[in-house]
């Protein structure tokens, strides 16, 4: 059930419908999907998943550490922690099935909506996310946590924030005071509020209950799309839009660090993220900052991929295109005012990246296209465009299918919709909105 008084649907309705709809798409079908999906996006997933890093640990070790932490630190044995039945390196934490009715304290802290969403998924509140804290709040005080859904809270507010769209999301204990959060030239870092309980029922695990590199908080669909790539030792594999490196480290893990993983992202800041994540997880990868729409060149002589782009045609055995997208699959979304212009801006970029990927992929190689959004144009629409544009590509079914079929409304046939993986409401995996499709390149593609 969506959280009370969330303005998500009011702000999001028109943008989403327009963003999904194109001339050849069925508006009636999309409205039916939207009604279910918008309510689902307003709620929190009922599970939290961790991917165990087999380069440094094993599922039994992480399972035991997680159970001990929840029992001793959180003081409860009611939270179910277990290995996923079908994915051996995934630990699943089951949440309370019903939203909690919590006592509200006199003192409050107001956070931005992104921070609030993270809190509802089990995070503590870090200093940069705090918008307001009442004067007189001391370390150790019990305080109630509110989200500023209308983005009207003035940063540094000292008094009670009048009810101008604020949403109660839980309670916590203050770990910082005002002068540590508001002022000039502050390097904001650290936990400002330790979350005790939330209306989502998700246990507050924080980021540091496991030693670095042992496991990663990661949504199940993101894990599954890397399994769909089926990376093998000794291969050359390209991750085109790789930061922050969650999927890159998974690829390297499945290859047992044998072979060549090339990870690309556009800026130095993002590639530094990649390097840090790979170092933490013990994952070997060749990392480059580059525009992945421009990493192919007709003039390139085939060379060692470790020397970086540009690359010649048919260089890679497998390619992951986890493309930039409108990110509309995030849960929970307390507010979303994404504009039509922004939503529409992604398809042209996705097509450019896809064209580059096809050129760089070897014959009989595998390409996995994925997004963390829900729009038809960026998902099934992209698959339909790809099959029309590249007669060398064949859409194939991944070995591990835990998502649902693709939406109707494009030129994809019913049997093709059954080959893609869409994650949304009314499906076994209650995670986030996500989509991926697998292609095999059956022959060289000409004139594309």
| Model confidence band, residue 17 (pLDDT cutoffs 50, 70, 90) | very low
Residue 331: which of 30, 34, 38 has the closest Cα?
Answer: 38
Residue 15 pLDDT > 50, yes or no? no
129 confidence band (pLDDT: 50, 70, 90): very high
Check residues 33 and 389 and name the one with the higher pLDDT. Answer: 389
Domains 108-198 and 220-441 share a fold: no
Average pLDDT, the chain: 88
Report whether 415 contacts 325 (CB < 8 A): no
pTM of the prediction?
Answer: 0.91
Give the integer Cα–Cα distance in Å for 7 and 167.
10
Residue 422 CB neighbour total at 10 angstroms: 23
The 3-state DSSP class for residue 261 equals strand
- Burial group, residue 419, by CB count within 10 angstroms (0-12, 13-18, 19+): buried
Question: CA separation (Å) from 65 to 30, 52, 214, 293?
Answer: 44, 12, 11, 42
Q: Is the dihedral of CA 296, 300, 303, 306 positive or negative?
A: negative
More confident residue, 150 or 35: 150
Distance CA 435, CA 406 (A): 9
pLDDT at 61: 95
Mean pLDDT, range 104-108, rounded to an integer = 93
Q: Which of 202, 225, 325, 372 is catalytic?
A: 372
Domain regions of the chain by residue span: 108-198, 220-441
* Residues 275 and 289: beta-carbon distance below 8 Å: no
pLDDT tens column, 295-318? 998 876 767 888 999 999 999 999
Residue 156 DSSP symbol: T
* 164-188: average pLDDT: 88
Convert the pLDDT of each residue in 190-245 to its tens digit.
999 999 988 888 888 876 788 999 999 999 999 999 999 999 999 999 999 999 99
- Residues 382 and 342: their CA atoms lie apart, in Å, by 17
pLDDT of residue 408: 86
pLDDT bucket at 166, cuts 50 / 70 / 90? confident
Spatial CA neighbour of 405 closest among 377, 428, 389, 386 = 428
Confidence tier at 131 by pLDDT (50, 70, 90): very high
Q: Give catalytic status of residue 372 as yes or no.
A: yes
Q: Fold for 220-441, please state it.
A: Rossmann fold (3.40.50)
The whole-number pLDDT of residue 266 equals: 94
Please give the Cα distance from 107 to 125 (Å, whole number).
16
Which pLDDT value is given to residue 309?
94
Residue 23 has pLDDT above 70, yes or no: no
Topology (CATH level 3) of domain 108-198 = 2.30.130
């Amino acid at each position: 059930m969506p959280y009370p008084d969330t303005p998500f649907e009011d702000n999001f309705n028109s943008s989403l419908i327009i963003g999904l709809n194109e001339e050849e798409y069925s508006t009636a079908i999309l409205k039916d999907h939207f009604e279910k999906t918008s309510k689902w996006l307003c709620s929190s997933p009922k599970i939290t998943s961790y991917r165990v890093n087999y380069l440094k640990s094993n599922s039994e070790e992480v399972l035991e550490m997680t159970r001990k932490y929840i029992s001793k630190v959180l003081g409860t044995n009611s939270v179910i922690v277990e290995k996923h039945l079908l994915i051996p390196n995934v630990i699943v934490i089951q949440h309370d099935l019903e939203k909690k009715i919590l006592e509200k304290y006199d003192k409050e802290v107001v956070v931005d909506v992104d921070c609030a969403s993270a809190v509802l998924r089990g995070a503590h509140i870090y200093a940069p996310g705090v918008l307001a804290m009442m004067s007189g709040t001391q370390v150790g005080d019990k305080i109630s946590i509110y989200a500023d859904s209308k983005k009207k809270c003035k940063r540094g507010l000292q008094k009670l924030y009048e009810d101008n769209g604020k949403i109660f999301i839980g309670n916590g204990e203050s770990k910082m005071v005002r002068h540590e959060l508001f002022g000039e030239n502050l390097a904001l870092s650290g936990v400002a509020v330790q979350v005790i309980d939330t209306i989502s029922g998700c246990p507050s695990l924080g980021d540091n209950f496991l030693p670095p590199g042992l496991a990663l908080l990661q949504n199940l669909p993101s894990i599954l799309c890397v399994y769909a790539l089926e990376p093998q030792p000794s291969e050359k594999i390209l991750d085109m839009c790789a930061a922050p490196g969650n999927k890159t480290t998974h690829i390297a893990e499945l290859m047992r660090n044998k072979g060549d993983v090339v990870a690309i992202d556009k800026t130095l800041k993002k590639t530094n993220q990649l390097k840090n994540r790979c170092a933490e997880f013990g994952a070997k990868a060749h990392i480059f900052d580059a525009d992945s729409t421009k990493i192919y060149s007709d003039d390139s002589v085939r060379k060692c991929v470790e020397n970086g782009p540009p690359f010649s045609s048919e260089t890679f055995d497998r390619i992951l295109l986890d493309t930039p997208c409108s990110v509309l699959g995030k849960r929970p979304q307390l507010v979303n005012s994404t504009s039509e212009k922004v939503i529409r801006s992604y398809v042209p970029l996705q097509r450019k990246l896809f064209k580059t990927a096809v050129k760089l992929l070897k014959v009989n190689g595998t390409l996995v296209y994925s997004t963390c959004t829900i729009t038809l144009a960026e998902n099934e629409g992209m698959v339909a465009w790809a099959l029309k544009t590249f007669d060398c590509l064949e859409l194939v079914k991944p070995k591990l299918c835990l998502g649902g079929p693709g939406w109707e409304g494009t030129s994809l046939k019913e049997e093709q919709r059954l080959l893609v993986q869409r994650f949304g409401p009314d499906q076994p995996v209650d995670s986030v909105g996500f989509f991926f499709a697998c292609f095999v390149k059956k022959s060289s593609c000409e004139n594309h």
